[in-house]
A and B are shown apart, each in its own frame.
Chain A
């Protein structure tokens, strides 16, 4: 990228397309999170369990996001890895009220981090500790500890407590992700 294009890009004249992968267990609120990022008029009122995956597009700070909203159901989880190669960032949604399945989340996160398409890349991972409004929800700190996030050394990560129904905490998280992706892209060029 030449100096001029870089300048144009920084000015925000040309949008950069990035792919993000939205993963997490079933019923953790992935589709609801993605739904909230969309424009007001495109939003759907009722979220149903995703089958396979769905592709959604939204923008944030001159970055055009293509979100691959993966199904979190056990039998569709092996689809995730096919999208690892082409993604620039990962949004990992965790149901913070589901204490029972925190081990499953950890297991899936470990599988994700050990995947050859992921383990050698400096891929930013954004965690949403979703459903923070539930009364028996775990705090984001507890979830970070439970998932062993402090052991992730080679990748930038961030955890944000969220409530996808109201949109609380989502913007903060996605801004962090945008910043990270932008840094990575700029450093590459």
Chain B
């Protein structure tokens, strides 16, 4: 199995190759020549980033697409950065005020030159950059404070208050519902609390919710360069759709009627017409939000954690990668279309749109550093990354349209370019579509199986098939023609429609003596038949009949007449028994040349056992006849009879030659018959005795 070996060699860390469908293995075997060109790999890039923090955008508006990503630093002493790569070179590096959660790019207006804005979600702020310069900052509207917290902060402003009591009060409130300021206060050491309160006393705290995920939604056109609205999802489970020009909230909705925190947002459609926002929640559910809805509707609930989510444009299939190494595909209404098991844990997903093939592939980053490309549920390609990919993006970079940028957990940045000639055998894919989860073949109906086998055989040896068919056809025609000729010459038929007489025959006995019973039936309703005779015609060398002609009396209407005839088969020993012969029967009317009826009766052959019995009876009777001879035949005849008898009963000579003259003569006669078969000796014996009996009996 070269496919399996090949696959094993390619990824020694993936042990579950046997569970892959066969066609996947075949495709992987094609990978001797990769479909990807390794453009550049920088192990020293030292990037830390996550999915949805890497985008490809024409940020300078010159048609030279750049790679924009955030280098995330969670440690408090280090700052996260927004980096822009031109080709493989880092061209811009900006410090971000907070840990970014997501990056998007969108066109804010239709003005030329078309320069897209880059928006970075940092905490509850959306930082918008244009031409690599800060452009606008949008803050998520603050949420309502709990009355208790508000009360507490009012009391802090009072001259005499009990810090400890108020802090205990604050602790009684759910931590998630507190404002950031109170949360920080509760995390401080008691001795620092006083100073902290003093700093903020008198200012009402604002409860803001950090942005956790982002996406863009085209405003009124499906074009790739169309103006798009940023869509934000906050920790509180609120989705905001922003106006791309003035950055005000166009639409606000809850993710779900129950508490759900969005983690991934994907959109389809247009804001002004109809749209669908698909939200993956931390509670392992998928919610869908449509135009005019104030609340999303959960469509899918999973039992495993969602790692990444994709929305396939066109058919709007939702692709979900989960922690249990599964890739699920759901329709926009939440019906599962398929599931596929991956060989390793999924770390990120990336959509690979291939316009020239008018299809979309799904790139699945797997733990260990392999990237599998799926077309539907089938693996169509396989490529490697230096180590486990943490984020992937596919699209135009620089002048090249099909670039995949992979950023790994180890900080490596890897650029791959899809070859122009790569077609992923997609045209052949449809033919080989074996479902991944269905490892055993479908039961084939018997008829189809026969048909397939037959067609396989035909394909293997068409010449021989044709020849044998022609031969059989000729044989069939010959047999049919012979039967026709026989029928015509014998003019057989069991009934005569004109005379309305029916003849049937019955043969009794095992042989060589048979009884033939003929039944002649008058089928006529009102007319008697008379003047009939029956003539038998048989080969006299084979059959002897008791009578060859019998007259039939008058048969009244509706009655039948039975005619019994004894038939004896003439046995000829020594010759081969014929397998039964025919006796022809003619029913004739007096004074009429043509027979009324003619029939052929096929006689059964005499049973072998009966024949043997008769033969042995004959031999015995011949022996007795010999003994009862009245006159003594000459010595030469007696010696011959003796020798036949001995040969028949004892076989070849088995005694030593005696010394006396009589004994020697006998011995020599017997010896002369050496090698004669017992049956033949018997036959000869019978014949000899028969010949002698005429003269000496």
A residues with CB within 8 A of B: 25-27, 74-75, 77-78, 95, 98-104, 107-108, 111, 136
Contact B401 A74, beta carbon cutoff 8 Å: yes
Q: Cβ of A108: which chain B residues have Cβ within 8 Å of it?
A: 420
Q: Cβ of B87: which chain A residues have Cβ within 8 Å of it?
A: 98-100
Q: Cβ of A78: which chain B residues have Cβ within 8 Å of it?
A: 420
The DSSP consensus for interface residues of chain B is strand
What is the bound-complex CA distance between A107 and B420, given in angstroms?
9
What is the bound-complex CA distance between A69 and B95, given in angstroms?
45
Contact A111 B421, beta carbon cutoff 8 Å: yes
What is the bound-complex CA distance between A77 and B401, given in angstroms?
13
User: A72 — nearest CB in chain B belongs to which residue?
Assistant: B399
Contact B399 A103, beta carbon cutoff 8 Å: no
Contact B400 A100, beta carbon cutoff 8 Å: yes
What is the bound-complex CA distance between A107 and B33, given in angstroms?
12
What is the bound-complex CA distance between A81 and B421, given in angstroms?
14
Known: A26-B399, A75-B356. A100 touches B420 (CB 8 A): no
Contact B40 A74, beta carbon cutoff 8 Å: no
Q: Is B645 an interface residue (CB 8 A)?
A: no
Question: Which single member of A77, A104, A111, A136 contacts B400 (CB below 8 Å)?
Answer: A104
Contact B419 A98, beta carbon cutoff 8 Å: no
Contact A101 B398, beta carbon cutoff 8 Å: yes
Q: Cβ of A26: which chain B residues have Cβ within 8 Å of it?
A: 399
- For window 39-92 of chain B, which residues contact chain A by CB distance below 8 Å? 39-40, 87-89
Q: Cβ of A136: which chain B residues have Cβ within 8 Å of it?
A: 89
What is the bound-complex CA distance between A58 and B402, given in angstroms?
36
Q: Cβ of B356: which chain A residues have Cβ within 8 Å of it?
A: 74-75
Instruction: Kindly provide the distance from the CB of A178 to the nearest chain B CB, expressed in whole angstroms.
Output: 30
Given contacts A103-B38, A104-B420, 13 further A-B contacts (CB under 8 A): A75-B356, A77-B420, A98-B398, A99-B40, A99-B89, A100-B398, A100-B415, A100-B417, A101-B399, A101-B400, A104-B37, A107-B419, A136-B89
Known: A26-B399, A111-B421. A100 touches B37 (CB 8 A): no
What is the bound-complex CA distance between A95 and B399, given in angstroms?
11
> What are 21 A-to-B residue pairs whose CB atoms are below 8 Å?
A74-B356, A74-B401, A74-B402, A75-B356, A78-B420, A99-B40, A99-B87, A99-B89, A100-B39, A100-B403, A100-B417, A101-B398, A101-B399, A101-B400, A102-B39, A104-B37, A104-B39, A104-B400, A107-B419, A107-B420, A136-B89
What is the bound-complex CA distance between A77 and B87, given in angstroms?
22
B residues with CB within 8 A of A: 37-40, 87-89, 356, 397-403, 415, 417, 419-421
Instruction: Kindly provide the distance from the CB of B623 to the nearest chain A CB, expressed in whole angstroms.
Output: 99
Known: A26-B399, A74-B401, A107-B37. A101 touches B417 (CB 8 A): yes
Among B87, B356, B399, B421, max chain A CB count under 10 A is at B399
Contact B39 A101, beta carbon cutoff 8 Å: yes
Contact A99 B399, beta carbon cutoff 8 Å: no
What is the bound-complex CA distance between A37 and B398, given in angstroms?
28
Contact B37 A103, beta carbon cutoff 8 Å: yes
Q: Cβ of B401: which chain A residues have Cβ within 8 Å of it?
A: 74
Contact B89 A74, beta carbon cutoff 8 Å: no
User: B402 — nearest CB in chain A belongs to which residue?
Assistant: A74
Contact B399 A25, beta carbon cutoff 8 Å: yes
Instruction: Kindly provide the distance from the CB of B600 to the nearest chain A CB, expressed in whole angstroms.
Output: 79
What is the bound-complex CA distance between A108 and B89, given in angstroms?
23
What is the bound-complex CA distance between A136 and B266, given in angstroms?
38
Instruction: Kindly provide the distance from the CB of A61 to the nearest chain B CB, expressed in whole angstroms.
Output: 34
User: B356 — nearest CB in chain A belongs to which residue?
Assistant: A75
Contact A103 B39, beta carbon cutoff 8 Å: yes
User: A101 — nearest CB in chain B belongs to which residue?
Assistant: B400
Among A95, A99, A108, max chain B CB count under 10 A is at A99
User: A74 — nearest CB in chain B belongs to which residue?
Assistant: B420
User: A102 — nearest CB in chain B belongs to which residue?
Assistant: B39
User: A75 — nearest CB in chain B belongs to which residue?
Assistant: B356
User: B415 — nearest CB in chain A belongs to which residue?
Assistant: A100
Contact A100 B40, beta carbon cutoff 8 Å: yes
What is the bound-complex CA distance between A32 and B39, given in angstroms?
26
User: A108 — nearest CB in chain B belongs to which residue?
Assistant: B420
Instruction: Kindly provide the distance from the CB of A8 to the nearest chain B CB, expressed in whole angstroms.
Output: 46
What is the bound-complex CA distance between A128 and B39, given in angstroms?
21
Question: A-B pairs with the 4 shortest C-beta distances?
Answer: A103-B37, A100-B87, A27-B399, A103-B39
What is the bound-complex CA distance between A95 and B64, given in angstroms?
13
